[in-house]
Amino acid sequence: MSKLDANLDFDAIVIGGGFSGIYAVHRLKNELNLDVIAFEKGGHVGGTWYWNRYPGALSDTESFVYRFSFDKELLQEYTWTHNYLTQKEVLNYLTHVTERYNIKDNFKLNTEVTKVKFNEDESYWEVTTNHEKTYTAQFLICGLGLLSAVHKPNIPGIDNFKGQYYHTAQWPENADYKGKKVGVIGTGSTGIQLITAIAPEVEHLTVFQRTAQYNVPLGYRKQSEEEIAEIKANYDQIWDTVRNSVTAFGYPDTNISAMDHSEEEREAKFEEAWKRGNGFYFLNHVFNDLATNREANDAAANFIKKKIKEIVKDPETAEKLTPKEPYARRPCANDGYYYTFNRDNVSLVDIKANPIVEVTEKGIRTTEGEHELDVIIFATGFDAMDGNYTKFPMIGRNNVVLKDKWKNGSRSYLGIMESDFPNMFMSRAPLSSFTNNPPAIESELGWAIDLIKYLIDNNLRTAEPTKEAVDGWYDLCLKLSEGSLFGETQSWIFGANIPGKPVSVRFYMGGMGNYNKELEKRGFSELVFD
Ligand code: N01
């Protein structure tokens, strides 16, 4: 393999060993024949699925579309047993992919990137790691993950706590919670899975809930060999649906408005979806307007509220678990969540009504009193989307620092590039599509890798979007987000979960199909080349 530029250490440097990093390394190495190195902070590839090892961790995207689509043989050969994949199963899948494509050794593990800088004189990237080494390459691909910069709130007194405490995304090997008095802070997708999984294993579980969540059943079940064979036989059509649909979760779009139905018909549809399971299905595929039409959203919200009342035996607990906001966060789905609160060893503390004051030596003190605990688990989420791009210096042309550039809200072109950052490609970054991740990664990095090939084939050194192109993409994303009820909830989707973070649009909300059309329509026409 001859290098593109003999003066540089590599042709391309990839940051991250999750779905994005693995896909990028495979295509750059095996298709473009480039010399690639990838840096991964963890001790194994897997990204999200390496770090999030908490009990109950499982992908709530259905197994058949939670995988890469680019290799038809892999799709046929690699199989699954249930309609959802556990954390371990996703990790095994990703490990298998790195072995299949002979890219395992391209990943330098336990290596954290601490700085990236564009060398303007000679147009290449310098990438520095925690091992105090700096490497150079023409292309930089960032697969930093959209939900990986951990958000662990600074609660006064935490250092005085005598027991173990940890964040779900930094689950320690020696986590010792079984048979103990455990407190969980946070009731998002992670908290909901964790709470349901550990409740039977602990002496007592105290759940500290700030905002009640809407949860629908997941419908986790074994899939028969026949069912899986049928999926595999129809994969061409399935991926076609995925790539052209709104959510890319493998379900066809619906054009039925909830308000076109009588109340009875609507309830029947919700009931059917409740029995079927899956949050994305419930929110997006029964009707097309739950996330945008207040009346439709209220109808769905009220249906779930009724279910909470039916399931949870203690009326006071049921009331605390009942959300007060629209049904417009990233949907949660778990089969046992509400039932867990019927257990004698589980109690729910409403920390909106009675906020946490401090952590003491013995537990957590709220305005209401002290809760004695042996273990505290933070299921408090992430500085999503841009958190990983702002936590270490990323320096582009003219010494522009990405963190400063994004201080009033993050921008990008197609969710992939940013002006002043030539030849830097991002995956699942701000203003990328609000969809299932693996197909989105294939679209974004597919476009990026086509561009890299174009540069090489045409003997060009760099590509960069114009400022107008970046602004135009932002304006489109902003326009598409208007009317989304998601903007009314304080979640990570608009950056509202992190104190002090600018609340702004962070996704392209036009759907996977339209996103793919945008990539095709624009091609490389809004880039400047050098
Ligand atoms: O994080 P979250 P997550 N004091 O931000 C609370 C994906 N995911 O890790 O809502 C007290 O949703 C916070 O309260 P509030 C998925 O995309 C997927 O659960 O801000 N509480 C909230 O309850 C998901 O959306 C899967 O009032 C505090 C919780 O912590 C995304 O990851 C599984 C607090 C954080 O919820 C993030 O989910 C898991 C504080 N200072 C995750 N700060 C599947 O595929 C925060 N909270 C199934």
Residue 481 Cβ < 6 Å to ligand 1: no
Query: What is the rounded distance in angstroms from the CA atom of residue 188 to the CA atom of residue 191?
Result: 5
Residue having the nearest C-alpha atom to atom 43 of ligand 1: 380
Confidence check: pLDDT of 57 > 90: yes
Residue 390 Cβ < 6 Å to ligand 1: no
pLDDT band at 30 (very low <50, low <70, confident <90, very high): very high
Confidence check: pLDDT of 480 > 80: yes
- 334 CA from centroid of ligand 1 (Å): 14
Judge contact between 169 and 18, C-beta under 8 A: no
Beta strands in 21-101 (DSSP E): 36-39
Output the six-digit token pair for 404: 């400063």
Output the six-digit token pair for 449: 């890798």
Angle, CA of 191, 193 and 198, to the nearest 5°: 90
Judge contact between 258 and 296, C-beta under 8 A: yes
- 211 CA from centroid of ligand 1 (Å): 10
Residue 245 Cβ < 6 Å to ligand 1: no
What's the pLDDT score for residue 138? 98
Confidence check: pLDDT of 319 > 80: yes
- 192 CA from centroid of ligand 1 (Å): 9
Confidence check: pLDDT of 391 > 80: yes
Residue having the nearest C-alpha atom to atom 1 of ligand 1: 381
Beta strands in 85-169 (DSSP E): 107-108, 113-119, 124-129, 134-142, 164-167
156-209: pLDDT as tens digits: 999 999 999 999 999 999 999 999 999 999 999 999 999 999 999 999 999 999
pLDDT band at 282 (very low <50, low <70, confident <90, very high): very high
- 365 CA from centroid of ligand 1 (Å): 21
Residue 304 Cβ < 6 Å to ligand 1: no
Residue 206 Cβ < 6 Å to ligand 1: no
Spatial CB neighbours of 97, under 8 Å, sequence gap ≥ 6: 22, 26, 68, 74
- 72 CA from centroid of ligand 1 (Å): 35
Confidence check: pLDDT of 1 > 90: no
Residue 211 Cβ < 6 Å to ligand 1: yes
Query: What is the rounded distance in angstroms from the CA atom of residue 290 to the CA atom of residue 299?
Result: 8
Proportion of the chain above pLDDT 90, given as a percent = 99
Mean pLDDT of the chain: 97
The DSSP-derived string for 183-250 is EEE--SHHHHHHHHHHGGGSSEEEEEESS---EE-----B--HHHHHHHHHTHHHHHHHHHHSSS-SS
Residue having the nearest C-alpha atom to atom 47 of ligand 1: 380
> Looking at ligand 1, which atom is closest to the CA of residue 378?
30
Residue 59 Cβ < 6 Å to ligand 1: yes
Identify residue 328 by its one-letter amino acid code: A
Q: Which of 171, 189, 354 best tests ligand 1's pocket when mutated (most atoms within 8 Å of CB)?
A: 189
Query: What is the rounded distance in angstroms from the CA atom of residue 131 to the CA atom of residue 125?
Result: 17
pLDDT band at 55 (very low <50, low <70, confident <90, very high): very high
> Quick count: other Cβ atoms within 10 Å of Cβ 210?
16
Residue having the nearest C-alpha atom to atom 3 of ligand 1: 381
Query: What is the rounded distance in angstroms from the CA atom of residue 200 to the CA atom of residue 208?
Result: 18
SS3 (DSSP) at 83: coil
Residue 435 Cβ < 6 Å to ligand 1: no
Residue 186 Cβ < 6 Å to ligand 1: yes
Identify residue 31 by its one-letter amino acid code: E
- 48 CA from centroid of ligand 1 (Å): 14
Residue having the nearest C-alpha atom to atom 10 of ligand 1: 211
SS3 (DSSP) at 512: helix
Output the six-digit token pair for 329: 């966060």
Query: What are the beta bridge partners of residue 207?
Result: 184, 348
Output the six-digit token pair for 199: 């409740």
Structural domains of the chain, with CATH: 10-149+384-529 (3.50.50.60), 215-371 (no CATH)
Query: What is the rounded distance in angstroms from the CA atom of residue 358 to the CA atom of residue 522?
Result: 52
What's the pLDDT score for residue 134? 98
Confidence check: pLDDT of 2 > 90: no
- 269 CA from centroid of ligand 1 (Å): 28
Q: What is the ipTM of this complex?
A: 0.99
Residue having the nearest C-alpha atom to atom 18 of ligand 1: 189
- 429 CA from centroid of ligand 1 (Å): 18
Residue 181 Cβ < 6 Å to ligand 1: no
What's the pLDDT score for residue 349? 98
Residue 195 Cβ < 6 Å to ligand 1: no
Element (H, E) at 288: none
Residue 188 Cβ < 6 Å to ligand 1: yes
Judge contact between 363 and 244, C-beta under 8 A: no
> Looking at ligand 1, which atom is closest to the CA of residue 490?
20
336-377: pLDDT as tens digits: 999 999 999 999 999 999 999 999 999 999 999 999 999 999
H-state helical runs in 78-204: 87-100, 189-198
Closest Cα partner for 496 from 401, 396, 384, 346? 384
> Looking at ligand 1, which atom is closest to the CA of residue 329?
25
Residue 60 Cβ < 6 Å to ligand 1: yes
Residue having the nearest C-alpha atom to atom 46 of ligand 1: 380
> Looking at ligand 1, which atom is closest to the CA of residue 147?
32
> Quick count: other Cβ atoms within 10 Å of Cβ 337?
24
Residue 381 Cβ < 6 Å to ligand 1: yes
